[in-house]
A and B are shown apart, each in its own frame.
Chain A
């Protein structure tokens, strides 16, 4: 399937970044998880965040999604300096996260899951009382799934009856539905079968093509090369390299991750 799109979306193409992180550091006790990290996300790109365990990927993601603030450094979102106080705060700004473990309620159907925490209410007094507008929610969920060409067996069956890939599809569709600016996907393909991984990667591309940039974290380099427009490698809490998947090899990425030789542009 499609390789990364060489040249497109690479840093320095002149576009304003959606997200810009400047000199961010974060320590947990004696462990410095991030040291003076710079990181950008541009519109219309999939940025892959690579690194060995403990390289600082999760810490960086948690700062971006408002789980905790950095010790120092600045986060700019859409050109504006921000300090997210909570994941809710980041979400309200249009940043959605797809978590590693499935964040779906298995007994609820696809529609309920896609609108979970953001239900639509009926008009008038019933809406005030918390009555749900099932029809509108179902219609919008169908439209969203159709837009991303995600096929589900039955939108009104509990998602526990779905395959792992379909369930992930619902969760990603939910993120894409609410993310107006940025989607962070923390190992969305973990524990999925080959075909299901295809489905998820396909969705990631569709999300990008719909104009929402994606930060994609994966341990699988073939997946990264298949879907990413740009690869940022973290090592020991620092940006070790920023690579163009169109002009580098997996060996270059591995080298940057392990620190044997710097591939691409060392930071």
Chain B
């Protein structure tokens, strides 16, 4: 029996679109179509750079959480606690900033003698809260062996409840306005809002990490077959722990952005962030069964609802239509992805 070697090597590039991307291309086309339609309908009101900046700033927090969620979903996990981690991080960061920047009397009169220390410390504490929350998620999943769905459903309650206890259920007052002016509404180089810059940096790092590094490779491997990963000598539990910590960190970062944009921490908001983030990642082509997903896809999946909402508002369509439309797109995206997959398996 003579077996010929037939290896297709083509060029040196990594397979991008070919490997994960058919549905990514599809949803990218949807996004483009939306932009074209709104551009035709609304012209400059929609097409202006200023408007795109608004869309991007609005989407930045979801985008950060969607990056973490992409890693989580690729491992065949889920993180329902992202919005709760965002809220808890921003509440703790806000409380830290308020209590460190001056005496209660000073702060109540909007005097912040120590804000130069208080704000950076508050940011670090908020990020640390995100990391600790992610660590708890990871430990409950890997040590107590709870399914990610139940584990993070439980911690969602834990984190949100804690945030509401710490804040008394109301927006945290007396946050130094410098947080907003120096971070939340500041434009870098006069053009690039800080929330967008942070999101861009996170997207680039995450995309590189997912495609080019061992961290990403193990993320795909575990989601594809945890057993195969284990047999290959990969410490599956430790890697999952890192992935949930990443999700917590990025949620914490989103919490800081939220705090900086609105100059307060709002424990009553972000209750649907988890579902919005999950649907963004799934629209972006990730498979809830694991092993498939991409950062670029999740970025597009985050921007589709954002563009829709923006376009509808400018067009004067009730915002509720956005929610309904996204539901339909989600179903379509998953349906097309499944069709593609079963076609691939038949061939």
Task: Determine if A105 and B224 form an interchain contact, defined as CB atoms under 8 angstroms apart.
Answer: yes
Q: When the two chains form the complex, which single residue of A105, A108, A132, A150 contacts B3, counting CB atoms closer than 8 Å?
A: A150
Closest A residue to B215 using CB positions: A130
User: Which A70-128 residues have a C-beta within 8 angstroms of B?
Assistant: 87-88, 91, 97, 99, 101-109, 112-113, 116-119, 121
Asked if A22 is an interface residue, CB under 8 A from chain B, the answer is no
Asked if B19 is an interface residue, CB under 8 A from chain A, the answer is yes
Shortest Cβ gap from B209 to chain A (Å):
8
User: Which B224-239 residues have a C-beta within 8 angstroms of A?
Assistant: 224-225, 227-229, 231-234
Closest B residue to A202 using CB positions: B1
Interface magnitude class on chain A: 35 or more
Contacts of A142 in B (CB 8 A): 7, 9
Shortest Cβ gap from A113 to chain B (Å):
8
Contacts of A134 in B (CB 8 A): 14
Contacts of B8 in A (CB 8 A): 154-156
Closest B residue to A158 using CB positions: B19
Q: How many residue pairs between the two chains, A and B, have CB atoms under 8 Å in the bound complex?
A: 107
Asked if B5 is an interface residue, CB under 8 A from chain A, the answer is yes
User: Which A114-168 residues have a C-beta within 8 angstroms of B?
Assistant: 116-119, 121, 129-132, 134-135, 138, 142, 145-146, 149-158, 160-161
Task: Determine if B213 and A131 form an interchain contact, defined as CB atoms under 8 angstroms apart.
Answer: yes
Closest B residue to A110 using CB positions: B7
* A106-B225, A151-B6 known; A161-B344 Cβ under 8 A: yes
Shortest Cβ gap from A10 to chain B (Å):
27
Instruction: Give the interface centre of A105, A113, A149 by most chain B CB atoms within 10 Å.
Output: A105
How far apart sit A150 and B1, CA to CA, in the bound complex (Å)?
Answer: 12
Task: Determine if B213 and A105 form an interchain contact, defined as CB atoms under 8 angstroms apart.
Answer: no
Asked if B15 is an interface residue, CB under 8 A from chain A, the answer is yes
Task: Determine if A146 and B1 form an interchain contact, defined as CB atoms under 8 angstroms apart.
Answer: no
Asked if A198 is an interface residue, CB under 8 A from chain B, the answer is yes
How far apart sit A28 and B15, CA to CA, in the bound complex (Å)?
Answer: 48
Contacts of A116 in B (CB 8 A): 217, 221, 228-229, 232, 234
How far apart sit A130 and B5, CA to CA, in the bound complex (Å)?
Answer: 31
Task: Determine if B1 and A145 form an interchain contact, defined as CB atoms under 8 angstroms apart.
Answer: no
Shortest Cβ gap from B322 to chain A (Å):
33
* A149-B3, A155-B8 known; A103-B217 Cβ under 8 A: no
Contacts of A152 in B (CB 8 A): 7
Task: Determine if B224 and A108 form an interchain contact, defined as CB atoms under 8 angstroms apart.
Answer: yes
Shortest Cβ gap from B198 to chain A (Å):
20
Task: Determine if B15 and A156 form an interchain contact, defined as CB atoms under 8 angstroms apart.
Answer: yes
Closest A residue to B223 using CB positions: A107
How many B residues have CB within 8 A of the partner chain? 38
Task: Determine if B232 and A117 form an interchain contact, defined as CB atoms under 8 angstroms apart.
Answer: yes
Q: Mark B1-23, 1 if CB is under 8 A from A, else 0.
A: 10111111100101100110000
How far apart sit A99 and B232, CA to CA, in the bound complex (Å)?
Answer: 11
Task: Determine if A105 and B225 form an interchain contact, defined as CB atoms under 8 angstroms apart.
Answer: yes
Task: Determine if A155 and B224 form an interchain contact, defined as CB atoms under 8 angstroms apart.
Answer: no
Task: Determine if A103 and B4 form an interchain contact, defined as CB atoms under 8 angstroms apart.
Answer: no
How far apart sit A141 and B345, CA to CA, in the bound complex (Å)?
Answer: 24
Contacts of B9 in A (CB 8 A): 138, 142, 155
Contacts of A118 in B (CB 8 A): 232-233
Contacts of A91 in B (CB 8 A): 233
* A116-B221, A121-B214, A130-B215 known; A145-B232 Cβ under 8 A: no
Task: Determine if B227 and A149 form an interchain contact, defined as CB atoms under 8 angstroms apart.
Answer: no
How far apart sit A138 and B233, CA to CA, in the bound complex (Å)?
Answer: 20
Q: Mark B101-130, 1 if CB is under 8 A from A, else 0.
A: 000000000000000000000000000000
* A107-B223, A129-B213 known; A145-B15 Cβ under 8 A: no
* A112-B221, A130-B215, A145-B5 known; A117-B15 Cβ under 8 A: no
Task: Determine if A132 and B7 form an interchain contact, defined as CB atoms under 8 angstroms apart.
Answer: no
* A145-B5, A154-B8 known; A109-B15 Cβ under 8 A: yes
Task: Determine if A198 and B292 form an interchain contact, defined as CB atoms under 8 angstroms apart.
Answer: no
Contacts of B12 in A (CB 8 A): 135
Shortest Cβ gap from B159 to chain A (Å):
30
Closest A residue to B211 using CB positions: A132
Contacts of A158 in B (CB 8 A): 19
Contacts of B345 in A (CB 8 A): 160
Asked if B305 is an interface residue, CB under 8 A from chain A, the answer is no
How far apart sit A88 and B14, CA to CA, in the bound complex (Å)?
Answer: 30
Binding site for B on A (CB under 8 A): 1, 87-88, 91, 97, 99, 101-109, 112-113, 116-119, 121, 129-132, 134-135, 138, 142, 145-146, 149-158, 160-161, 198-199, 202
In the assembled complex, 8 residue pairs joining A and B whose CB atoms fall closer than 8 Å, in A order, are A101-B227, A103-B228, A105-B224, A116-B228, A116-B232, A117-B232, A118-B232, A199-B3
Chain A to chain B: the 9 pairs with minimum beta-carbon distance, closest first: A107-B291, A117-B232, A105-B224, A107-B224, A130-B213, A116-B232, A117-B233, A130-B214, A103-B231
Sample of 7 further A-B pairs with CB below 8 A, known A88-B233, A198-B1: A107-B223, A116-B234, A119-B217, A129-B213, A132-B217, A135-B12, A149-B3
